[in-house]
Amino acid sequence: MKVAFTFPGQGSQAVGMGKELADAFPEAKAVFQEVDDALDQKLSDVMWNGPEAELTLTANAQPALMAVSLAAIRVLQARGVDLAEKVSFVAGHSLGEYSALAAAGSLNIGTAARLLRIRGNAMQSAVPVGQGAMAALLGLDFETACEIDKEAAQGEVCEVANDNAPGQVVVSGHLAAIQRAVEIAKARGARRAVMLPVSAPFHCSLMAPAADAMASALSNADIKAPVVPLVANVLAQPISDPGEIRRRLVEQVTGTVRWRESVTWLAENGVDTFFEIGSGKVLTGMVKRIAKDAKGIAVNSAQDIDAVLETFGAGAVAAQ
């Protein structure tokens, strides 16, 4: 068995996430307190009690999702799961890269939370509300989506933001260009082409102001070499050098999340078990579409923790 830990991105948030872990495990509760302290905000209260609209705000959703992922990681570590021994690679979808790096010891949790708060605010403010948009093109491959982008742009920005899985590509850019892309995709035989309910056009060149903000924030951040390599979104290749990690996290703000290629690379390099650590199971579903022979397991409850321990032969340990 060769294992990768993957970490979800925005869209996987839900009111109540992480509450079961906090109630069951003191290590998890301590992580949520650590994030609250780092942000000087009772973010855990928003996570567990809502309102949903407040949790969904980009500046809240990003550190909140990281907190759930790291709560699960701390519980696993306390029960003998050493990433350096048990895990070959980490990878995260968009903001999930920060969770992956924190899990692998490259960032401490407080630093990751503060960086994600800056990132969320910067991405939200990079484009005035109503000027940008994103859309999912389902049933078309990456190459076709790129052709549609070029046709739809007409002098505006229209770019592939997420290459998530075979037949699942997300485009991002100016509102009118994305609307044109949806219509062109339908004409090109897309199974579905739908506008997404997002607050900004993430992962396209319109995010350049946010990339500048992250370059400044990351230049001052303490980043160590991770104990296992990170398969970077913008490369679909593993990296470990702190300087390169900084550069790729900046590039990631405007660049394509190459998730399909990342999972393909991991599978081709022997990974047969993907644990999705954190809220939801979006990445687990993608793994099943990308690497059909691999096993995908979502880990976000006490029962899931026991399943991981059993997989590693550590034996289930009852929650305290």
Q: What is the pLDDT of residues 54-90, one digit of tens each?
A: 999 999 999 999 999 999 999 999 999 999 999 999 9
pLDDT above 60 (res 305): yes
Q: Which residues have C-beta within 8 Å of that of residue 10, sequence separation ≥ 6?
A: 58, 61, 62, 65, 94, 95, 202
Could you tell me the CA-to-CA distances from 239 to 5, 60, 89, 262 in Å, in that order?
A: 15, 28, 10, 12
Q: Which of 12, 203, 262, 279 is catalytic?
A: 203
pLDDT digits (tens, 9 = 90+) for 136-146: 999 999 999 99
pLDDT above 90 (res 31): yes
Q: Is 99 a catalytic residue?
A: no
Could you tell me the CA-to-CA distances from 219 to 68, 94, 125, 245 in Å, in that order?
A: 26, 19, 21, 11
Please tell me the predicted confidence (pLDDT) of residue 316.
40
Could you tell me the CA-to-CA distances from 94 to 22, 101, 234, 256 in Å, in that order?
A: 25, 12, 10, 9
pLDDT above 80 (res 319): no
Write the secondary structure of 63-108 as one string of H (helix), E (strand) and C (coil): HHHHHHHHHHHHHHHHCCCCHHHHCCEEEECCCHHHHHHHHCCCCC
pLDDT digits (tens, 9 = 90+) for 166-175: 999 999 999 9
- Average pLDDT in the 307-313 region? 89
pLDDT class of 314 with cuts at 50, 70, 90: low
Counting residues of the chain whose pLDDT is more than 90, the rounded percentage is: 95
Domains of the chain: 3-126+206-311 (3.40.366.10), 132-198 (3.30.70.250)
Counting residues of the chain whose pLDDT is more than 70, the rounded percentage is: 98
> Whole-number mean pLDDT of the chain?
96
Could you tell me the CA-to-CA distances from 225 to 119, 230, 289 in Å, in that order?
A: 21, 10, 31
Q: Is 174 a catalytic residue?
A: no
pLDDT digits (tens, 9 = 90+) for 98-145: 999 999 999 999 999 999 999 999 999 999 989 999 999 999 999 999
Q: Specify the pTM.
A: 0.96
Greatest Cα pair distance in the chain? 59
Please tell me the predicted confidence (pLDDT) of residue 315.
47
Q: Which of 69, 94, 262, 279 is catalytic?
A: 94
- Average pLDDT in the 178-201 region? 96
Where would I find the H helices in the chain? 19-24, 26-39, 43-49, 52-56, 58-78, 83-86, 96-103, 109-125, 142-153, 175-187, 208-219, 242-254, 259-268, 282-290, 302-311
Say which DSSP state 17 is in. Answer: T
Q: DSSP letter string over 155-168?
A: TS-EEEEEEEETTE
pLDDT above 70 (res 214): yes
